[in-house]
Amino acid sequence: MSEAYEELVERAAALDAADELAKLRELFVLDDGVVYLDGNSLGALPRAVPARVADVITREWGELRIRSWFESGWWTAPERIGERVAPLVGAAPGQVVVGDSTSVNVLKAVVGAVRLAHTEGAVAARVVAPPSGVAPSGVAPSGTAPPPRAVGAPVRDEVLVDAETFPTDGYIAASAARLTGCRLRAVPAADLAAEVGPRTAVVLVNHVDYLTGRLRDLPGLTEAVHAAGAYVVWDLCHSAGALPVALDAHDVDFAVGCTYKFLNGGPGSPAYLYVAERHQAAFDSPLPGWNSHTDPFGMRPEYEAADGSARGRVGTPDILSMLALETALDVWEGVSMQAVRAKSLMLMDFFLACVEAYVPDGRVTSLTPAAHDERGSQVSLRCEGPGEAGEVMRELIARGVVGDFRPPDVLRFGFTPLYVSFADVHRAARVLGTVLA
């Protein structure tokens, strides 16, 4: 064995011995001999979930049947589970509701934000900007929402989306723009702060780029968007559960995210919607379903939106997936997001060091930023051999190292601190080096 190999094995063992999160690994179903580095696509199964789902099916559905909507708490699940997600994204109670898919929640958030901008614009067109600290009717108090524009200012008819966004977000943003009479502009994420202007209603941006793993500047961009008088919607799919997210602290307007990646909720588990408390009374969802009615069982023909986070509900929630998610979130009890972030960064640093040691020169190039404050929780490597990345990943999986491939040439490795060990990381890099050699 080489000296470098021995040194890296010892380093991995020392890091694992000092890892305060190592004990959480036993809470997940993981195969012996397999390194799972695809938690940024689908999180591993928490051990407690199968028994909970079995109970929901056999007892709550099989025996209690319709009674479970209230006796088993099915009806309140979207808000109740939203309160479990809220601390993981830095939100105070009453602002997160769980349900629907990320795509559906993107539509709600973007259209809702445009409607807020148009309402605020209509007010600004009728009144002179108020004295400091005094808001016109229908507008949130000064300091909590974009400032009113001067009389005669351009209508806000523009939706900005980061040009590198996950494709579905772009599709939904384009549809939202059509629905609201806006135009859509795709702008490189690095240029969004400079491009937002007096015509911008809302900016939709991914907190972590799905392809490269680059972390966006949530505090800085949110501040820039607000300074321009617009609203911001953050997609947290690749950050929630992997690093601290401080929605309230940075005055974010809206946020959405899935729960099946770093939150380990299971395939197709319901997503969540964050609407800042200051916007809830004026939030006009484009999908006013019976579940978000103030009197859902009154079956009235006229729609009247519920108060609070329930306004983000639409139709009957997916109870099986939702309650599986609720149990999956138990693994977060007592877990520090700062500890999760620290381990995530250490795992990535160690992986890159092992890649440098084991992978022949010139075979891969890292797309992941070197700076810690610009990283999510994944490493993306570009294969330099034309057309070989897919074949490389298939061979890695065959040898027990599971990541994923994004065409045409990117290998992605996600690092879930709750169950990935440093020994896993060492093995993955060594197998990668063997395959590429």
108 catalytic residue (yes or no) = no
Coil, strand or helix: which one is 126? Answer: helix
232, 238, 241, 243: CA torsion to nearest 10: -80
CA distance 12 to 138: 57
DSSP 374: G
As to burial, measured by CB atoms within 10 angstroms (0-12 exposed, 13-18 middle, 19+ buried), residue 7 is exposed
- Which of 254, 260, 351, 405 is the catalytic position? 260
Q: How far is the C-alpha of 364 from the C-alpha of 384, rounded, in Å?
A: 6
Rounded Cα distance between 96 and 78, Å, is 9
Please, where are the H alpha helices in 59-217? 68-71, 77-85, 102-126, 167-180, 192-195
Q: Could you confirm whether 262 is annotated as catalytic?
A: no
What DSSP state is assigned to residue 190?
G
CA separation, residue 103 to residues 99, 218, 273 (Å): 11, 20, 11
> 35: burial class by Cβ within 10 Å (0-12, 13-18, 19+)?
buried
The active-site residue, picked from 235, 253, 318, 404, is 235
The rounded distance, in Å, linking the Cα atoms of 239 and 378 is 10
Cis previous bond, 408, omega within 30:
yes
**Residue 235 designated active-site:** yes
Catalytic residue among 412, 419, 427, 430: 412
Active-site choice (261, 343, 363, 375): 261
Is residue 261 annotated as part of the catalytic site, yes or no? yes
Is 169 one of the catalytic residues? no
Catalytic: which of 166, 262, 405, 422?
166
Known catalytic residues are 166, 235, 260-261, 412
